[in-house]
Structure 1
Amino acid sequence: MIDQLPLERLAFWVGKRPDAVWLSQPVNGQWHEFSWRTVDHQARCLATALRSLGCEPGDRVALLAKNCAEWFIADLAIMLAGLVSVPLYPLQTAESIDYVLRHSQCKAIFLGKLDEPERLAEGIPAGVARIAMPYPTLPADHHWANLLAEHGPLQTAHSQTPDELLSILYTSGTTGQPKGVMLTPRAFAYAASQALTELHISPQDQYFSYLPLSHAAERFLVQMNALFSGARVAFAESLETFAADLKHVRPTVFFSVPRLWTRFQQGVLEKLPQAKLERLLRIPLLGSLVARKIRQGLGLDRARILVSGAAAIPPALLLWYERIGLTICEGYGMTENFAYGTFNRPGQVRFGSVGRPMPGNQLRIDDTGEILFRSDTLMQGYYLDPEKSAEVLRDGWLHTGDQGHVDADGYLKITGRVKDLFKTSKGKYVAPVPIEVEIAKNLWVEQVCLMGSNLDQPLALIELTPAAREQNRERLAEELEATRQQLNVTLLPHEQISHFLLVRDAWTVDNGCMTPTMKIRRNVLEAKFADELGKLERGQPVYWQ
């Protein structure tokens, strides 16, 4: 059951707390605050503007911007006008943007803060009306301030229904072209309303929004949860000000992804090496003072809910954070169920698992070990792709493509992707994810990809941390080789790793090795390093590219 849809919830807060601050946006180091009344007024003016540009109910409007208050306002304007939002990743390539805009048949696009806007210019087809948010961005036909000045607020807002099309969220495309996931107001409202109750989120909570809002997890965990709970949201101004902005905001609820949790850890260890940190933490009283200072330095001293998602996080990293008083709750979901899957609730965390199903979410494991979900948050299907829709949605169940098992207490553990399994030349299958998690326990490892299709033994591609690249190569190789040998003792013969191949270049979105949601593209990495495999020598298990 859902009591209110997103626009009804906006109206609720505008009526109940019109002058309370909802959004806080830093601009040139100064914080600007937006009340519920201001957000509603600006969104209604922009809704009128969209209608005047020829957008009719059901038309698609894209959003291409880094997180900011105006992203929230533009999204609400699209809803108020009865249009369908199509969020784009700020790190997407121009080719991918062009594909999504044409595939979804977008009429207009909101453009905001982007790191390299000129790189994306060719991605916007002619005929798509460009609206610039009040930041340096791509050339635009219309500008935020002008539209607010020229158009009055929309008096009769669109009346949402539970099962209309609200937004098309395109997947990050790990194996091919992105797929357009069609989501409804029911999915948004159900996920948020259930999460508030389950996690006790209230207007007193504080969010910090910086992960792409085009990703289902940020849209659900931050934007929708804040809309439904009335909690405040603050944004980062830039990458350069990120740490200072986070310390200024001191969120009570904080969401990040494994790669960034690793980066935060590395930042601490650069100032306080691991051996010294461990010694200090073992000293009563002093240890707790050191841990508190680290939490304050990160800006997480008020955080009561810390979330990790989007990819597997090494249990060793979770244990490291727990030692300094930060318990990270790992969760699991997909764009196809609006990231509403399983979650380790605070106080009920089981490391190595992704938690138990959220309320109203049915989970089962089929005969092949695949994870299936059923809830009110499931997508309607993939836009213009009935075949793939029918393949993934069967008998009311979402077939995730992930494999896992559920323990006696209902906690789900993911063992890998069905498609990630590979067969060695010996005819044996290997699941890479559990092995990668073990390799990533080594603090010198930034990212890892296990490969071995048609090879005698698997090998691991490793991207080193920035700190590791500055270490003595010989000593580093010895430490990594010790990790390889220790791990091999625990693996089955056909799983044992022959080599660690240390890659020269970082894996990024720009070079195609990562998706915009920071997942590795296995097929790209396997093709990229295929030639290197012939250079590996039996007596040199740790090889530098």
Structure 2
Amino acid sequence: MREFSLPALYEVPADGNLTDLIRRNAAQHPDVAVVGRKVDGQWQDVSATQFLAEVRAAAKGLIASGVQPGDRVGLMSRTRYEWTLLDFAIWSAGAITVPVYETSSAEQIQWILSDSGAVACVVETTGHETSVESIRDSLPALKNLWRIEGGDAIKQLTTAGADVSDALVDERSSLANADSPATIVYTSGTTGRPKGCVLSHRSFFAECGNAVARLKPIFGTGEASILLFLPEAHVFGRLVEIAAVLAPIKLGHVGDIKTLTDELASFRPTLVLGVPRVFEKVFNAARAKAQADGKGKIFDKAVDTAIAYSQALDTASGPSLGLRIKHKIFDRLVFSKLRAVLGGRATHAISGGAPLGARLGHFYRGIGFTVLEGYGLTESCAATTFNPWDRQKIGTVGQPMPGTVVRIADDGEVLLHGDHLFTEYWNNPAATAEALSDGWFHTGDVGTLDEDGYLTITGRKKEILVTAGGKNVAPAVIEDRIRAHALVAECMVVGDGRPFVGALVTIDEEFLPRWLAEHGKPAGTTAAELREDPDLLAAIQEAVDDGNAAVSRAESVRKFRILPSQFTEDSGHVTPSLKLKRNVVAKDFAADIEAIYQR
């Protein structure tokens, strides 16, 4: 058993709650822009004073509509300004926010709103409203439903609360203490019904306060800003929201990931927080464009230079003179253009949700855009470890959050302890008792700690495969390497009880048209029509070969099968946070798995 901890850098308030942050900002930085809001295609600054006023007005409307202290209020929307506004308004009314993914089905919505006992819900679109109305008979506690788009929820709440006094809002805002529930986040779960993870105000204070303190040079003040494009229904998105308010630095919102490149260029954040797939797509798109423009060889040389430069930074002597000269040349030709795609001002990004991979980590650091990997779960209020800005170890998920402890159990499981942890699963004492033992949260993940306390995640306890030859295989290692290929959307390793390891692979439908054009294939050809195409098979074999380079021969993928379509949330094969539902995939594609092992 091994464990590591770092002293806390932020003192969690003995009392008080997250609404204190917006009152503090208005008092100490009244004219500072704390939010950037998109209006008629243009970014407009919202000052700390204005934001507080809008939050209070919406909170008055909730109070006037009958929301009581401790009530749960559902919030179903894409990431947008109103999400953050309503989150703080719900807390200011003394209530608890219950996020619902905007992609959720009626059945999922019904479970979350009924299990939490939500008395009200704010949705974004007419479609969302229709979904909630279709199940309203099964939600006896739900009294109010507001819609943002077309229904103007904020205006309705402001009008409804016109007669509510400031004193009553102040009273409601002060009712919750640090240990009161702030939110119930339903874990998307790869099996069974989602569990309601109760996170307190203390959890967010400990999480965001220590993160901002440890990363202060890149959070900064004044002109610093973050563009939030992660779902705010996901705990990582909430970390970004609250950390920005706590710092404080300006927060912008992007609801459609398809417009991300344009929004990065117009908002120009100084810090980016995302998931590996975003950084993979930026890299793959840049490489594909270079190849299409006849500059593929130059781009590949630039990539090799960036990686070599980053790797040399970890040596005692640093980059050689020749490497520094090459790096300077490619910075002008390639790297500066890539940084411009990411907004042009950011020097750092924080990545979580899945491993980024050492090669891509070195590439980004080599171009002057350092991606700091972290690790966490809903139960740990997002990040529980992350790479410090000044002592990064690429390939690891960093050191424990200051004020927390990471322990590796005898069987390799990662255990966590600290104020940032959840308090319970809502209405589920049995699951709570199973996950929390003597103050330690059992993550279900397997990992190692090095001598400096840097954590490396090697897999999931329940996802470890054991081949017929008795070899234990952690799927994540090779899956992440294969998935990094531009053509690969998703990869799932199989082989439990089988003679060798195989893989199911799906094709990235966004990248496929470009690949078709480059290889002389008819436009519009689908992945289903290309499953046995020699050129596509060869391309995927390259991805598999790269993945195999990271593992032993006994763990390597011997055969793979290309599937006719991508795994999506609508197909039921991934969760809203894009985690594979392995049991569902295995069931639905049982015939393809059997085909891998046919002689």
**1:348 aligned to 2:391?**
yes
Q: CA deviation at 1:229?
A: 0.9
479-488 or 298-307: bigger deviation: 479-488
**1:335 aligned to 2:378?**
yes
Q: CA deviation at 1:295?
A: 3.2
Q: Distance in 1 between matches of 2:265 and 2:187?
A: 32
Identical residues among aligned pairs (%): 29
Residues 50 and 320 (structure 1), Cα distance of their counterparts in 2 relative to 1, 3 Å cut: same
Q: CA deviation at 1:50?
A: 1.4
Q: Which residue of 2 aligns with 1:206?
A: 225
**1:401 aligned to 2:416?**
no
Superposition pairs for residues 173-188 of structure 1, below 5 Å?
Answer: 173-188=189-204
Report the AA paired with residue 504 of structure 1.
Answer: P
What's the C-alpha RMSD, in Å, of the aligned pairs?
2.4
Residues 214 and 82 (structure 1), Cα distance of their counterparts in 2 relative to 1, 3 Å cut: same
Q: CA deviation at 1:431?
A: 1.5
Which one of 370, 390, 408 corresponds to residue 365 of structure 1? 408
Residues 379 and 511 (structure 1), Cα distance of their counterparts in 2 relative to 1, 3 Å cut: same
Q: Which residue of 2 aligns with 1:277?
A: 299
Deviations 1:476-532 (A, max 9, x none): 423433554576577445423231111211111111111111212111111121012
**1:22 aligned to 2:65?**
no
Q: Distance in 2 between matches of 1:486 and 1:213?
A: 34
**1:145 aligned to 2:155?**
yes
Q: Distance in 2 between matches of 1:7 and 1:534?
A: 55
Q: Which residue of 1 aligns with 2:317?
A: none
**1:63 aligned to 2:63?**
no
Which one of 7, 10, 21 corresponds to residue 22 of structure 2? 10
SS state at 2:558 partner: coil
Q: Which residue of 1 aligns with 2:103?
A: 91
Q: Distance in 2 between matches of 1:114 and 1:524?
A: 30
Q: Distance in 2 between matches of 1:392 and 1:239?
A: 34
Superposition pairs for residues 194-343 of structure 1, below 5 Å?
Answer: 194-200=210-216, 201-204=219-222, 205-220=224-239, 222-236=240-254, 238-273=256-291, 274-280=296-302, 283=326, 285-343=328-386
8-17 or 434-443: bigger deviation: 434-443
361-370 or 451-460: bigger deviation: 451-460
**1:189 aligned to 2:199?**
no
Q: CA deviation at 1:468?
A: 4.7
Q: Distance in 2 between matches of 1:398 and 1:233?
A: 31
352-361 or 31-40: bigger deviation: 31-40
Residues 182 and 237 (structure 1), Cα distance of their counterparts in 2 relative to 1, 3 Å cut: closer
Q: Distance in 1 between matches of 2:546 and 2:62?
A: 61
Q: CA deviation at 1:130?
A: 4.5
**1:512 aligned to 2:572?**
yes
Report the AA paired with residue 109 of structure 1.
Answer: C
Q: Is the 8 A contact 1:169 1:180 kept in 2?
A: yes
Q: Distance in 2 between matches of 1:53 and 1:36?
A: 26
Q: Distance in 1 between matches of 2:245 and 2:126?
A: 25
Q: Which residue of 1 aligns with 2:559?
A: 499
SS state at 1:513 partner: coil
> TM (normalized to structure 2)?
0.83
Q: CA deviation at 1:447?
A: 2.0
Q: Which residue of 1 aligns with 2:434?
A: 391
Report the AA paired with residue 445 of structure 1.
Answer: V
Q: Distance in 1 between matches of 2:58 and 2:547?
A: 57
The runs of 5 or more residues in structure 2 that have no matched partner are 1-10, 306-325, 520-532
**1:103 aligned to 2:103?**
no
Report the AA paired with residue 185 of structure 1.
Answer: H
9-18 or 276-285: bigger deviation: 276-285
Which one of 495, 498, 501 corresponds to residue 458 of structure 1? 501
Q: Is the 8 A contact 2:113 2:139 kept in 1?
A: no
Q: Is the 8 A contact 1:291 1:325 kept in 2?
A: no
Residues 509 and 120 (structure 1), Cα distance of their counterparts in 2 relative to 1, 3 Å cut: farther
Which one of 23, 31, 46 corresponds to residue 58 of structure 2? 46
Which one of 82, 86, 109 corresponds to residue 74 of structure 1? 86
SS state at 2:167 partner: coil
Q: Which residue of 2 aligns with 1:467?
A: 511
Q: Is the 8 A contact 1:190 1:377 kept in 2?
A: yes
Q: Is the 8 A contact 1:96 1:123 kept in 2?
A: no
Q: Distance in 1 between matches of 2:89 and 2:384?
A: 28
Q: Is the 8 A contact 1:365 1:404 kept in 2?
A: yes
Q: CA deviation at 1:30?
A: 2.9
Q: CA deviation at 1:171?
A: 0.6
414-423 or 260-269: bigger deviation: 260-269
Equivalent pairs counted in the alignment come to: 534
Q: CA deviation at 1:268?
A: 1.4
**1:135 aligned to 2:135?**
no
Q: Which residue of 2 aligns with 1:521?
A: 581
Report the AA paired with residue 39 of structure 1.
Answer: F
Q: CA deviation at 1:455?
A: 2.0
Report the AA paired with residue 83 of structure 2.
Answer: W
Q: Is the 8 A contact 1:259 1:446 kept in 2?
A: no
> TM (normalized to structure 1)?
0.91
Q: CA deviation at 1:21?
A: 1.8
Q: CA deviation at 1:272?
A: 1.3
Q: Which residue of 2 aligns with 1:430?
A: 473
Deviations 1:179-236 (A, max 9, x none): 101111111111121112111133322010111111111111x111111111111112
Q: CA deviation at 1:347?
A: 3.0
Q: CA deviation at 1:155?
A: 2.4
Report the AA paired with residue 72 of structure 1.
Answer: T
Residues 55 and 482 (structure 1), Cα distance of their counterparts in 2 relative to 1, 3 Å cut: closer
17-26 or 225-234: bigger deviation: 17-26
Which one of 181, 186, 210 corresponds to residue 165 of structure 1? 181
Q: CA deviation at 1:145?
A: 1.0
Q: Is the 8 A contact 1:75 1:85 kept in 2?
A: yes
Q: CA deviation at 1:170?
A: 0.9
Q: Distance in 1 between matches of 2:543 and 2:256?
A: 37
Q: Distance in 2 between matches of 1:340 and 1:480?
A: 33
Superposition pairs for residues 482-497 of structure 1, below 5 Å?
Answer: 482-484=542-544, 491-492=551-552, 494-497=554-557
Q: 1 or 2, which has the higher helix percentage? A: 2
SS state at 1:414 partner: strand
